[in-house]
Amino acid sequence: MELQFLGTGAGTPSRERNVTSISLSLSEYNRGSWLFDCGEGTQHQILRTPIKPGKIEKIFITHLHGDHIFGLPGLLTSRSMNGATEPLTLYGPVGIKTFVETSLQLSGSWLTFPLEIVEITAGEVCNDEQFRVTAFPLTHPVECYGYRIDEHDKPGALDAEQLKADGYLPGPYYYDLKQGRSVTLDDGRVVNGWDYVGSSIKGRSLAIFGDTAPTAAAADLAAGVDVMVHEATLEVAMEEKANGRGHSSTVQAARVAKESGAKRLIITHLSSRYLRQDCERLLDECRAVFPATEMAHDFAVFVV
């Protein structure tokens, strides 16, 4: 899996950072991508990447502030004007359905693809063959969520050599055995896949926080994840101001990563007051607490 940051700024776009949107590529599963938030200008950012709007399967919205949703109407209508027919599911807090449907209706827009809008609460959001997504409530002036993405564990390696030694010659049924299923052969023999499959391979995990001040939910949202994405709107010297507006400082983001046992931290959602030359200082504030911290810039790609 790969994370690509389409916008890494807070509140308003700047010359160096657009507002929030993150893409998660699922190409290793022969699937398209998921989008987390869709701030104004997201479709313009996508034009500079390999992301195909028609292959976006799901969009997860953390909250309804404009810098996280104002790009939705444009992206949805452009997806239609380009002839997309693949279905898309949009998840977000209560109100996201009204926002999207009103925007499309008042602008006389139409969609060429099935759009399902799911208004979420805390808890499991979706669960498919490969992933489970859970929403956790955060601390912000409006209803806001963070999303935890857990990849299901994968079956271990199939011991093909032992199968052959036991008289089970290779065939299409090997696929079913690798999934741990029992197979009845043409000669009546029954083969239990679990007898020939090694230990399962633990799935990867990812936590993507929406905007938030320090919150108790962070411990469960990010517990032991491989990658944690967290806002770091302001430097530690401006921590009180950040918290007063429902945001976190650099050091607070790093503390969450350390205390939750995350393996890596990527900070994003930086105030437009910070320029490129300020980035190392902000990153150093995080690394003093949690050394495995990286900073996202627009179009940066991180492998999960």
Determine whether the annotation assigns residue 63 to a binding site. yes
Determine whether the annotation assigns residue 297 to a binding site. no
Sign of CA pseudo-dihedral 137, 140, 144, 146 = negative
Determine whether the annotation assigns residue 68 to a binding site. yes
How far apart CA 287 and CA 304 sit, in angstroms, is 20
Determine whether the annotation assigns residue 67 to a binding site. yes
Residue 110: count other Cβ atoms within 10 Å of its Cβ: 10
Determine whether the annotation assigns residue 65 to a binding site. yes
Determine whether the annotation assigns residue 186 to a binding site. no
Q: What spatial distance separates the first Cα and last Cα of the chain, rounded to whole Å?
A: 5
Determine whether the annotation assigns residue 230 to a binding site. no
Residues marked active site are found at 67
Q: Which residues are annotated as a binding site for Zn(2+)?
A: 63, 65, 67-68, 140, 211, 269
Q: Which residues are annotated as a binding site?
A: 63, 65, 67-68, 140, 211, 269
